[in-house]
Structure formats: C-alpha cells, structure tokens
Structure 1
C-alpha cells in the first residue's frame, strides 16, 4: 500500500530513514526543514504488512526514492513521478534508482554515477590566510553564474529558487573567495539537518584554477559545519577531486546515481 505521509508519521519515518542516515541525508534534512505539507515538497510511504518499507520524496522537480534491502516499489513510485510534468530529476542510492531505467514514459535524461563519501573528523583540516566570505541572498546570482560556467555541472531550472530557499531556511550555506572583483571559487552545503550536511557546488572559475582556492574555501566550510557536531557527506566522480577529498578526511561509503 502507498499513501501520502503526514506529520503523524514522522516518528516512524525518521526511525526508518536513520537506519542509513548518510544516504538519507537529503530526505531527513528536507523533512526537518519543510515538513510534510508544502507546495514544493511531498512524501509518500510504501507499507508492507503494515510496516513502512519505502519512502519517496518530491522536492520541487527532484525525486529521491529509498527502501530497505533494495526492495523498491518501482512501479508504484514511477506512477507517482509520472503524474508531474516538466523536467524530472531522479537520484538516490545506485542500487535503487537504477531500477527505474527503462520505465515507459519516464524520461530520466543523462545518467551520472558518483562515489558517495562521508567525513567525521576535522583532523586533516588546515587554516588559510585567504579571506573566505559567507554568501547572502544578494550573492545568489553571481554564484549561479559561476556554477553555470562549469562544464561538468548540470544546472537545475529551479536552481535560483532552491538556492535562495536553502539560505533562508538555513538548510544550506555557501562560502566563497573573490579575486580581482570576480567570484573565484565557492563551496556550499545542502540538506543540512541536525546531524549532517551535504557538500555541493564546489567549483573554481577557469581563470583561477590550480591555486588551491576551492580547497581553502572547503576547509573553512568543513570546519565551521563540523564545529556544530555534524558529519559531512559529498558526491564525486572525478578521481583527482576524490584524492583531494580523501586528503581532507573523507572515506567512500557507497555509490549514488543521478538522472538529470
């Protein structure tokens, strides 16, 4: 049975999701921040023999499915996703979301498989003499422009709205450094919750690469988040980036697939 989840389900939902808290960081963070009833966010639960065994999150036009033991109700969740028009973004634990490939009518777009890593220690972080700035809503357009210049990034059509929402709701923060009056490098968190935060949007303007700017921004961001007692998570698919993250204390814990 599938039904919409409500506030009264929260205790059971959180117990279910926190069995794999890092992999469910986005769902947990969005529930803590925005609850179960809003225009841009909805959640459905799949129940087997009366027990919750799967969850589907819609956040704007992005969907994340999750189930234990990889037993995901693909048809039922696909039927829900297909009710929404426009470009769909689907992501999640690779073993789960790859089961949605080939569903008739479900145009998933380009597939990207990444490593999923987490960090729970700040012992590898160093200080920097660079002036690292914290983004405010007035900086959003410049940061979106910087991200848009990065060839490897896939911009979400709702990127500006999502970015502003994250700043205003404290579910995300962005640090950056300027050079010659330009936005030179930045790094952000997303889906921040009481226990963890996802690192996203790490980028450097093409004119300022290989100068250690993004690493300096990341280290400041990482330290501030971890000083609040949170675990850090991130995706990466570039081996060079992976080596940098591992020097900062990250370890691989699984694979994550995104369709964009």
Structure 2
C-alpha cells in the first residue's frame, strides 16, 4: 500500500535509506533539508502488511527519485508521478529506475558509474594541505572564472547563484589552490547531509595541469569529510576519470540512471 509520508515515519524511512546511504544521498539530503511539508517536495512509501517499507518515491519539483532494495511497485508509483507535476527527470539506482522504463516513453537516457569512498578504503591520508584553502562566498567569482576557462565544464547561467547557495547553507564545500594569484585547482562537495556527501567540480586550470593539484584538493577534502563520520560518493562516465578516483580509494557500487521524457 502506497501512502503519503509524514514526519512520523521519518525514523523508519531513514533506517531504510541508511542501508545504502551513498546511493540515497539525494533523498536523505532533501528530507533533512526540506522535510515532509512543502509545496515543492513530497515523499511516498510503499508499506507492507506489517508496516515495513518496501519502496520510496521522492518528488523534488519535477524530479522524481525512486528507491527500493530490489523490486519496486513501479506501476503504483507511476500513477502518482502521472498525477503530479510534470516529470522533468526520473533518476536513481539503475536497477530500480529501469523498472519504470516500460511505463513511460522516455526520450533521453543517461547512465553514469557510481562510486563510494569509506574510511576503510581511503588511501591518501596526511597529504600536504598548507596551500589548500576552504572557500567562502568571497571566493565564488574566482571559482566561476576558473570553471569558465575549462572547456570540459558545462557553463550554467545559475552556476554562481547555485554555488553561493551551497556555501551559505553548508550543503557543500569547496577547497582550492591558488598559483600566481589566481585559482589553479579546486574540488567540491554538494548534497551534503548527516550521512554522506557527493564530490563534484574537480578541475585544474589548463596552465597548472599535471601537477596533481586537483587530486590533492580532492583527497584533502575527502579526508575532512570522512573525519566527520560521513561517506563520499561521485559519478563518473569514463574509466580514465574513474581510475583517478580509485587511487584515492573510491569503489564502484553500481550505476546511476537518469531518464527524461
């Protein structure tokens, strides 16, 4: 039976999500940050005969994130999606999201490798950090300038405002290195919650590559987050990128699918 969740179910929901806390980073973060009583977010749970959770669906504006251990009531949750705000994206663990594919006429599909870092697999403790700086809002413009100079980065109009929001709300952090008075490399987290964080924005200015700067920013950032008792995760889409993160200790835990109509 699928029901609309209220905060009375919060502990049970979090226990259910915690078994794969990296994979459920976005759902956990959205619930912690926005709760069960907003007009832009809803959570539904599929409850079994004994009240046990068998599946979850979270809506954040037009983005829907389903999760279950194995099988999910794709037909039941799909009816909720069809009755709600227009679907912009359906995303989550590949094995779960794929169960919705026969129901919707998706025109766009993207799959990414999903990797996790835990304290026990971290390999790069104690790196030099005296030239690595924790970014504040005052550093945002310099970070945006560096990102804009890197052709691999997609430039979004909302990038500056989004970064300011992330730093202000402490749902993410950015570490950077400067060389010759300008931003040389950085790494960041996003979607931070009490259990986990996602690595994003790892980059090096073209003039300072092959010096290991971004790798060191990433490793120091990871060490600090791990020391807070959290795990880290990230997406990557090619083995070359993955090999860099695996040297730090990231391990593949699955695939992440993103579908849109």
Q: TM-score, normalising length from structure 2?
A: 0.82
Does the 8 Å contact 2:124/2:219 carry over to 1? no
Q: CA shift at 1:78, angstroms?
A: 6.3
CA distance in 1, matches of 2:130, 2:31: 36
Q: Which runs of 5+ in 2 are unaligned?
A: none
CA separation of 1:155 and 1:181: change in aligned 2, threshold 3 A = same
Q: CA shift at 1:79, angstroms?
A: 4.4
CA separation of 1:3 and 1:141: change in aligned 2, threshold 3 A = farther
Equivalent residue number for residue 94 of structure 2: 94
CA separation of 1:35 and 1:254: change in aligned 2, threshold 3 A = same
Equivalent residue number for residue 63 of structure 1: 64
Equivalent residue number for residue 22 of structure 2: 22
CA separation of 1:85 and 1:147: change in aligned 2, threshold 3 A = farther
- Structure 1 SS opposite 2:28: helix
Does the 8 Å contact 1:130/1:216 carry over to 2? no
Q: Indicate yes or no: 2:197 matched with 1:203.
A: no
Equivalent residue number for residue 258 of structure 1: 258
CA distance in 1, matches of 2:102, 2:56: 21
Greater shift after overlay, 163-172 or 70-79?
70-79
Does the 8 Å contact 2:67/2:92 carry over to 1? yes
Q: CA shift at 1:215, angstroms?
A: 0.5
Please tell me the root mean square deviation across aligned C-alpha atoms, in Å.
3.0
CA separation of 1:125 and 1:257: change in aligned 2, threshold 3 A = farther
CA distance in 1, matches of 2:209, 2:138: 25
Q: Indicate yes or no: 2:119 matched with 1:128.
A: no
Q: CA shift at 1:243, angstroms?
A: 1.7
CA separation of 1:28 and 1:3: change in aligned 2, threshold 3 A = same
Q: CA shift at 1:221, angstroms?
A: 0.6
CA separation of 1:48 and 1:187: change in aligned 2, threshold 3 A = same
Does the 8 Å contact 1:114/1:257 carry over to 2? no
Q: Which runs of 5+ in 1 are unaligned?
A: none
CA distance in 1, matches of 2:161, 2:89: 16
CA separation of 1:102 and 1:31: change in aligned 2, threshold 3 A = same
CA separation of 1:195 and 1:133: change in aligned 2, threshold 3 A = same
Greater shift after overlay, 182-191 or 71-80?
71-80
Larger gyration radius, structure 1 or structure 2? 2
CA distance in 2, matches of 1:144, 1:12: 40
